[in-house]
């Protein structure tokens, strides 16, 4: 799908580097098919040294050479970035944005007519090639554009195609979700320490437990409730613990957290 194409990154921060690493490790492209720009010289040198790709200062130089442009700048820098590349963008290029809260319409208004735009919402675990991304297709993007975007984000985890109206919910769930999981792991580890385990032992057991549970859901294809019931023996330790979690409102609190993050994402998108 990406064979023979040049992929350009406007901005070379953490998410851009995660995608570059994923693409190279999956052997979807070679290093000479990737070019990235960043205004910070140290970041350009770091990316070049780590991955062997070409780096430049100006986004327009990336836009001129690349078939696929990944907009990986901070949301507050998007306006400037789009101005810098607009003259080099035409209908032959695929534009993929990973900037939170920046709509397809916002990008389209600042680029030439009928620009082929894909908007994506990846998350932090992409940094360890275990990310989850929602991808939405703009009006003029093609089916092939969408397939290219899916291939790029699949290189750093899982990717799902959604309507753009659902990207705020993706943000509230998988975008913010790692923080919820980190809090859950921290709390599990603290509980282990309270019960007498060493801190490093408790943290390892907590993190590996969450990782293993997630793998069981993904690889078994079974409903989480069914897997939960497998672990909870009648009259056993697990059902006693589950009773406490239900009584404490964990389920409802998590639902409300995703709802609150989704609402906040919508508010930020209207700025």
Binding-site residues: 10-15, 72-75
Got the DSSP string for 209-232? HHHHHHHHHHHH---HHHHHHHH-
Contact of 43 with 147, CB cutoff 8 Å = no
Binding-site residues for NADP(+): 10-15, 72-75
Which among 24, 22, 111 has a CA at the least distance from the CA of 63?
111
- Give the three-state DSSP class for 52: coil
Which among 247, 246, 63, 257 has a CA at the least distance from the CA of 174?
257
- Give the three-state DSSP class for 235: coil
Q: Which residues of 48-79 are buried (b: 16+ CB within 10 A; e: fewer)?
A: eeebebbbbeebbbbbbebebbbbbbeeeebe
Q: Which two tokens stand for residue 159?
A: 């990717």
């Amino acid at each position: 799908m990406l064979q023979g194409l040049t992929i350009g990154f406007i901005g070379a921060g953490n998410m851009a580097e995660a995608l570059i690493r994923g693409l190279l490790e999956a052997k979807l492209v070679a290093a000479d098919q990737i070019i990235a720009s960043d205004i910070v010289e140290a970041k350009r040198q770091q990316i070049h040294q780590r991955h062997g790709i070409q780096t430049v200062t100006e986004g327009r130089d990336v836009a001129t050479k690349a078939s696929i442009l990944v907009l990986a700048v901070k949301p507050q820098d998007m306006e400037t970035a789009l101005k810098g590349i607009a003259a080099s963008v035409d209908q032959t290029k695929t534009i993929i944005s990973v900037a939170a809260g920046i709509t397809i319409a916002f990008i389209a208004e600042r680029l030439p007519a009928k620009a082929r735009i894909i908007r994506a919402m990846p998350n932090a675990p992409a940094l360890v090639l275990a990310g989850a991304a929602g991808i939405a297709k703009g009006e003029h993007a093609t089916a092939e554009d969408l397939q290219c975007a899916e291939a790029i984000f699949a290189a750093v985890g899982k990717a799902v195609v959604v309507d753009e109206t659902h990207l705020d919910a993706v943000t509230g769930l998988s975008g913010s979700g790692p923080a919820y999981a980190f809090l859950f792991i921290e709390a599990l580890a603290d509980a282990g320490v309270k019960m007498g385990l060493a801190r490093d032992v408790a943290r390892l057991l907590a993190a590996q437990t969450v990782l293993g549970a997630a793998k069981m859901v993904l690889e078994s294809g079974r409903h989480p409730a069914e897997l939960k019931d497998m672990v909870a023996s009648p009259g056993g330790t697990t059902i006693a613990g589950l009773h406490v979690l239900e009584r404490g409102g964990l389920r409802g609190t998590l639902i409300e957290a995703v709802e609150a993050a989704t609402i906040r994402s919508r508010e930020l998108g209207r700025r």
